[in-house]
Amino acid sequence: MEAILLVGGQGTRLRPLTISTPKPLLPTAGVPFLAHQLARARAAGVDRIVFATSYRAEMFEAAFGTRAHGVDLVYLTEDEPLGTGGAIRNAARGLTCGPDDPVLILNGDILSGHDVQAQVAAHEKAGAAATLHLTPVDDPSRFGCVPTDADGRVTAFLEKTPHPVTDQINAGCYVFRRSAIDAIPAEEVVSVERETFPEMIASGAVVMGYVEPGYWLDVGTPEAFVQGSRDLVEGRLASSAIPGEPGERLELDGARVSPGAVVRDGTTVGRGASVEAGATVLGSVLLDEAHVEEGATVRDSVVGRHARVGPGAVLDGVVLGDGAVVGPGNELRGGLRVWPGVELPATALRFSTDA
């Protein structure tokens, strides 16, 4: 089966991490985020993937080349972002399958443990034009709200509605009949959520919901990104792409953790990164060459490449950009983001939030 991977978004909510690296390539449990999706797609029977790229397009091919995780890879770039529907239509130029064949389409920022083969089987059984993976969430207003009838047929698609009619949302993994993709207008900006799905439903096309609760996460915010990495390291979502066994932490090549440090709760310690004696690092991502010095505390945070957390400093729910330095005694909390290269002198900040 062939698949299209949507990876053209700017990932603005993940800045400053996404200034230098697109969201789908951020190191997650030791490998680029997409490696987990490629491995799972391969396991579900996908043998060829077309990347729909836009923002920093060249970095994707540099990361994965023409074959990775047992899947052949093709790249198609939009000169101007075409939106999710326009990107799908543009990427279809790279498909080789016939008009009635199923094509898997994946948002590039999702971690999901659902059974893709069962979704494809449900699609074929219903003879559907498209079949969407749906999952229940606590706050459906942040997603595409997708009600279904007693037969599982989708009755509406309400993107980011303030008045959700169900807690069942679009989980960002579709099976499309190839001919339904070719019906999307070419070379135009089109939203699959706001235009294509509502139009398909209005025209009477069979659009089905495949409901499967279970592990599901959109890693589009720093909090969710850290959580996804933690869940992979701890084995809450299995991934054959992780360079190691599930456990309380993942140490990459050249990482140094002092015997006198506490590093757990799914923390990743990047290549050449270090944690000194007396430091505590919980549920965090230390990127390559990041350094946590004596007695510092880092919790639920991302420490960028070559960034440094000084002795006794505290980070809690913080994103520290590449090369940033937090001097001794600072205490940063509550979603604070420190831009790359910024240096905070000793005890410059005791407490802050991004309210």
Burial of 198 (0-12, 13-18, 19+ CB in 10 A): middle
Q: Interface with ligand GDD includes 164 (CB under 6 A)?
A: no
Write phi, then psi, for 40 (nearest 5 degrees).
-70, -40
Phi, psi (deg, nearest 5) at residue 126: -80, -10
Cβ-based nearer residue to ligand GDD, 78 or 289: 78
Residue pair 140/114 in contact (Cβ under 8 Å)? The answer is: no
Residue selected from 52, 252, 287, 324 as contacting ligand GDD according to rule CB under 6 A: 52
Q: Shortest Cβ distance from residue 310 to ligand GDD (Å)?
A: 35
Closer by beta carbon to Mg ion, 232 or else 261: 232
Residues that bind Mg ion (CB under 5 A): 109, 218, 220
327: contact with ligand GDD by CB under 6 A: no
Q: Quick one: which of 32, 85, 172, 317 contacts ligand GDD (CB under 6 A)?
A: 172
Q: Which window, 40-48, 74-82, 275-283, 314-322, contacts ligand GDD (CB under 6 A)?
A: 74-82
Distance from C-alpha of 26 to C-alpha of 225, rounded to nearest angstrom: 9
Rule CB under 6 A: choose which of 3, 7, 49, 285 binds ligand GDD: 7
Contact between 197 and 181 (Cβ < 8 Å):
no
Q: How far is the CB of 54 from ligand GDD (least distance, A)?
A: 4
160 labelled catalytic: yes
User: Which residue bears the tokens 């996908």?
Assistant: 46
Compute the least distance from the CB of residue 117 to ligand GDD, in Å: 21
* Number of residues engaging ligand GDD in binding (CB under 6 A): 26
Residue 112 interacts with ligand GDD (CB under 6 A): yes or no: no
Helix and strand element counts for the chain (H, E): 7, 31
Q: Which of 25, 73, 82, 309 binds ligand GDD (CB under 6 A)?
A: 82
Residue 153 is classified by DSSP as B
Strands (E) located in 125-243: 130-136, 144-145, 158-159, 168-177, 207-211, 216-218
Q: How far apart are CA 277 and CA 257, in angstroms?
A: 8
Residues near ligand GDD, by CB under 6 A: 6-9, 52-54, 78, 81-84, 87, 107-110, 143-144, 159, 169-170, 172, 193, 218, 220
Q: Which active-site residues does the annotation give?
A: 160
